[in-house]
């Protein structure tokens, strides 16, 4: 069964009070949304670690899943400042964002680290949200090969379980426009083929994603991964409506 997903990362834009207000506003809207209530559209949000418990509480009576924006590569131990996948699951998180381009660029995360985080997340019962994408603009066939290689590296040694791949070409993150539709179709198609052995997995698109994109892409992707566009709950609901209409 094809999944239809709308995901939101809040990054580090909101303080705790603003995040709590946003959770309440979005929870009241999605609770009354037929497509979300029926499960035909999945919604997830990844707030900061400190905001995870508040998000879990706010969305408790909705199908919205909460995740962490990162996760430790180890299950436990003397790793000051890290947050384990098992603790995230314990407080109600359901997924873990792994390998985002900012983590790779700013914190020197390697494919090996990403693979360890993927494995420990699946072991803890979290669905990995694997951020995949080429760093520079290139032909879609080359981008597909680079993205599939990155995905295979992330899944090396990982136990069974579904994953969500967020295809985010790095050059499109924060850009005025998303990657071209044919480009996304080719890369997403290659990523789907690479996920054939993991039933229930999905490929969503991020990188200047906004309204109208799901309609234009049709079934080429399973959803979108939103950033600052979703800071406005009304704007977010526009995309959820679009996902519902195309589910």
pLDDT of residue 209: 83
pLDDT class of 218 with cuts at 50, 70, 90:
confident
Q: Is the pLDDT of residue 7 over 70?
A: yes
Q: Is the pLDDT of residue 1 over 60?
A: no
Average pLDDT across the chain, whole number: 95
Burial class of residue 160, CB neighbours in 10 A (0-12, 13-18, 19+): exposed
Residue 241 CB-half CA count within 13 A: 9
Q: How many domains does the chain have?
A: 1
Q: How far apart are CA 19 and CA 10, in angstroms?
A: 8
Q: Is the pLDDT of residue 178 over 60?
A: yes
Q: How far apart are CA 165 and CA 167, in angstroms?
A: 6
Q: Is the pLDDT of residue 124 over 80?
A: yes
Q: What pTM was computed for the model?
A: 0.95
pLDDT class of 172 with cuts at 50, 70, 90:
confident
- Do residues 131 and 97 make contact, with C-beta atoms less than 8 angstroms apart? yes
pLDDT of residue 132: 95
Domain of residue 22, CATH code = 3.20.20.70
Q: How far apart are CA 67 and CA 142, in angstroms?
A: 31
Q: Is the pLDDT of residue 2 over 90?
A: no
Burial class of residue 156, CB neighbours in 10 A (0-12, 13-18, 19+): middle
Q: How far apart are CA 142 and CA 38, in angstroms?
A: 39
Active site residue 160: no
Domain extent, residue 114, equals: 5-246
Mean pLDDT of 75-90: 98
pLDDT class of 208 with cuts at 50, 70, 90:
confident
**One of 42, 97, 127, 168 is an active-site residue; which one?**
168
**One of 33, 100, 109, 127 is an active-site residue; which one?**
100
Mean pLDDT of 99-107: 95
* Lowest pLDDT segment from 6-10, 36-40, 173-177: 173-177
Closest to 190 (Cα-Cα) out of 120, 227, 139: 139
Active site residue 100: yes
Which residues, in sequence order, are CB contacts of 217 under 8 Å at separation 6+? 181, 184, 185, 205
pLDDT tens digits along 126-155: 999 999 999 889 999 999 999 999 999 999
Q: Is the pLDDT of residue 40 over 80?
A: yes
Mean pLDDT of 204-229: 90
């Amino acid at each position: 069964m094809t999944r239809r997903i709308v995901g939101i990362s809040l990054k580090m834009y909101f303080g705790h009070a603003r995040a709590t207000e946003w959770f309440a506003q979005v929870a009241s809207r999605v609770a009354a949304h037929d497509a979300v209530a029926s499960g035909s559209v999945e919604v997830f949000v990844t707030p900061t670690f400190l905001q995870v418990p508040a998000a879990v509480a706010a969305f408790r009576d909705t199908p919205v899943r909460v995740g962490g924006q990162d996760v430790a590569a180890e299950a436990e131990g003397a790793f000051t400042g890290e947050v384990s996948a098992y603790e995230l699951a314990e407080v109600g998180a359901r997924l873990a964002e792994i390998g985002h381009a900012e983590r790779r660029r700013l914190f020197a995360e390697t494919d090996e680290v990403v693979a360890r985080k993927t494995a420990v997340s699946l072991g803890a019962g979290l669905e990995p949200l694997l951020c995949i994408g080429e760093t520079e603009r290139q032909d879609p066939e080359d981008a597909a090969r680079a993205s599939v290689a990155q995905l295979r590296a992330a899944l090396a040694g990982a136990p069974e379980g579904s994953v969500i791949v967020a295809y985010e070409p790095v050059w499109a993150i924060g850009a005025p426009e998303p990657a071209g539709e044919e480009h996304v179709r080719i890369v997403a198609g290659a990523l789907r083929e690479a996920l054939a052995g993991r039933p229930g997995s999905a490929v969503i698109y991020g990188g200047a994603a906004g309204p109208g994109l799901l309609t234009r892409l049709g079934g080429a992707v399973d959803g979108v991964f939103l950033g600052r566009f979703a800071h406005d709950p009304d704007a977010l609901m526009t995309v959820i409506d679009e996902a519902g209409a195309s589910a």
